[in-house]
A and B are shown apart, each in its own frame.
Chain A
Amino acid sequence: MLSVRGLTKQFGEFTAVNDLSFNVDQGQVYGFLGQNGAGKSTTIRMLLSLIRPTAGEINFFGQSLFTHRKEILSQIGAIVEKPDLYKYLSAMEHLNLFARFGGHRPDQKKHLLLLEKVGLAQRAHSRVGTYSQGMRQRLALACALVNDPSLLILDEPTNGLDPQGIADMRQLIRSLCKEQGKTVLVSSHLLSEIEMIADRVLIIHKGKKVAEESMQSLTEKAGQLKLQALPEKRYVLEAYFLSLTSQ
């Protein structure tokens, strides 16, 4: 599905992403982890052609992003960082807009079903300016799904959601993957959430890959490590993550 080779991005003297390579297989939930400033958002932006890589290759569905951008992006839905939307438009109008961006005609019925799925059907025609952060997050997900993409790239999708919202989001991501066969790349700071949904995890630190494992393998490795006893209870994965990224 997605193959990244030697991806590098330099901003002047500063190297934000350094020779990053990874693969995302079809039908997977792929977790993307790293501390603040590790290069996650920069990598995601490069995957979405928002930023030009200094070096490296990005291939989706066997095609290069640099030569088949339109075809590739028409199969991707994304949320990049905090989802900023048009405050003066309603949820339904957003979906109509995104449908047109993807080259499709707006389908009111289909859009209403989608809004129901993300829990916004009751507020379909209210202006986004009146929405809470959690509602905007859900609308952003609906916008990412409106053109039925085969790959979803979600940057911090549970930001601003209450516990029920987080659980719903988790459930939705699982069903998108398992029931609809979509591939999901999720970037998150909530290790517990990644632990619960990801099939495979990439950990980056200071722009470099430090681990790329299946979740099962990562958990096993974490369990094998002799970690210092900590005063508070910590998740094993969190402890392993911190040990990898503190170097």
Chain B
Amino acid sequence: MFASILYTELFKIFRRPRTYISFGAIAVIVLLVQFALRVNGTEFIRFFTDSQADTFEIPESQILNGYFVCVAILHLILIHVPLLIALIAGDMIAGEAQTGTLRMLAAQPASRTTLLLAKFSASTIYVILLLLWMALFALGGSLLLFGQEDLVVFRETDLHIISQQDVIWRFVAAFIYAALALTMIAALALLLSVFAENALGPIVATVCIVIVFTILQQLKVPVFEQTINPWSFTTHMLGWKGFFYVEKTSEGVTINGSIENPMALVKSGAILIGYTVLFVFIAERVYRKKDILC
């Protein structure tokens, strides 16, 4: 029964024109970023390296390669892609309530739990497909346009140079982690959707929550750093970047295949999974007992 319901939910998602708007939007945004970096990439890199220009020979044209551009594009995951996820996941229950199809759906033999889990699973599959699409354009497209070199990742107080032989697996891991983060966003949007009878509310609310917590996190105000930020899911959504922070020896040489503080990534991943389970659990509890009056 679950497989049948999942099939129908996926069928509905991919028969809707708005689903393809998301894929189109990703393609356009990625192409725009690639175009911008093609035209102004060197200035972009100088912003990061200006303070060291007197001390070091900065190989700007080498730094601006396909891997660097892909990392720049992955920052879209934080704000822009969650909107596209919320567009589908936030519509799952509230959208059906709004159009009146929810009562028809809820009167079917499948339990509400099965229906909700099928909708969540369909959202997750959508997330994965969207990310694969993004990977195709962001990584594949960038490598075609900008070529392949070592990857330089800038942090607030340091920079990491990763050998090109040591890069691909990190991108695979980063995309898998991003899928986890965006699945959590889908779960949040689904939870909010259960409480609403209009799809716009959950979509906007999801994006607002992401924006607010991102701002709190980036402000680096001590009171938030100690209380909210360690548990804020937006803090842990950035975990994909952790795959691009490498360890170095006492002599300053990076260790191939290493990750700086891998336990932090494990902890972040666990927190994201925890949030996902929590959101889906609450959504299921509420939806199971909800009177469907629409």
CB of B111 within 8 A of chain A?
yes
Beta-carbon contact of B289 and A101 below 8 Å: no
Interchain CB contact under 8 A, B4 and A50:
no
Task: Give chain B interface residues in 130-176, CB to chain A under 8 Å.
Answer: none
Q: Give bound CA distance, A86 to B101, whole Å.
A: 7
Cβ–Cβ contact A88 & B16, under 8 A:
yes
CB contacts (< 8 Å) of B11 on chain A: these are 93, 97
Cβ contact within 8 Å between B15 and A88: yes
* Contact of A219 with B by CB under 8 A: no
Which residues 68-107 of A have a CB within 8 angstroms of B? 69-71, 73-74, 76, 78, 80-89, 93, 97-98, 100-103
In the complex, what's the smallest C-beta–C-beta distance from A61 to chain B, in angstroms?
Answer: 14
**Number of A-B pairs whose CB atoms are under 8 Å?**
78
* Chain A positions 12-56 with a Cβ under 8 Å from a chain B Cβ: 45, 48-52
Stretch at the interface among B47-55, B79-87, B102-110, B276-284: B102-110
User: If A50-B291, A50-B292, A51-B292 touch, does A101 touch B109 (CB 8 Å cutoff)?
Assistant: yes
**Which size class do B's interface residues fall under?**
20 to 34
Cβ–Cβ contact A51 & B291, under 8 A? yes
* Residue B12 at the chain A interface, CB threshold 8 Å: yes
* A residues less than 8 Å from B1 (CB atoms): 103
Interchain nearest-CB distance for A99 vs B (Å):
9
A52 to B292, CA, bound (A): 9
B16 near A73: Cβ-Cβ < 8 Å: no
Q: Determine whether the beta carbon of A85 is less than 8 Å from that of B101.
A: yes
**With A51-B291, A93-B15, A103-B4: A84-B99 Cβ-Cβ less than 8 Å:** yes
Contacts of B8 in A (CB 8 A): 97, 100-101
- Asked if B17 is an interface residue, CB under 8 A from chain A, the answer is yes
- Among B4, B107, B293, contact of A73 (Cβ-Cβ < 8 Å): B107
Chain B's closest residue to A48 (CB) is B107
Tell me the residues in window 1-35 of chain B with beta carbons closer than 8 Å to chain A beta carbons. 1, 4-5, 7-8, 11-12, 15-17
A82 to B100: give the CA distance in the assembly, Å.
8
| Chain A CB within 10 Å, residue with most, of B1, B17, B105, B108 | B108
A102 touches B291 (CB 8 A): no
Residues of B within 8 A of A (CB): 1, 4-5, 7-8, 11-12, 15-17, 99-101, 103-111, 289, 291-293
Additional pairs, 12, CB under 8 Å, beyond known A73-B107, A81-B100, A103-B1: A48-B103, A70-B109, A73-B108, A80-B104, A86-B15, A88-B15, A100-B4, A100-B5, A100-B7, A101-B8, A101-B108, A143-B104
The 5 A-B pairs with the shortest beta carbon distances in the complex, nearest first, are A84-B100, A74-B109, A101-B108, A48-B107, A100-B4
A-B contact pairs, 9 of them (CB 8 A): A45-B103, A49-B106, A50-B107, A52-B291, A76-B107, A80-B104, A93-B15, A103-B1, A143-B104
Residues of A at the B interface (CB closer than 8 Å) are 45, 48-52, 69-71, 73-74, 76, 78, 80-89, 93, 97-98, 100-103, 143
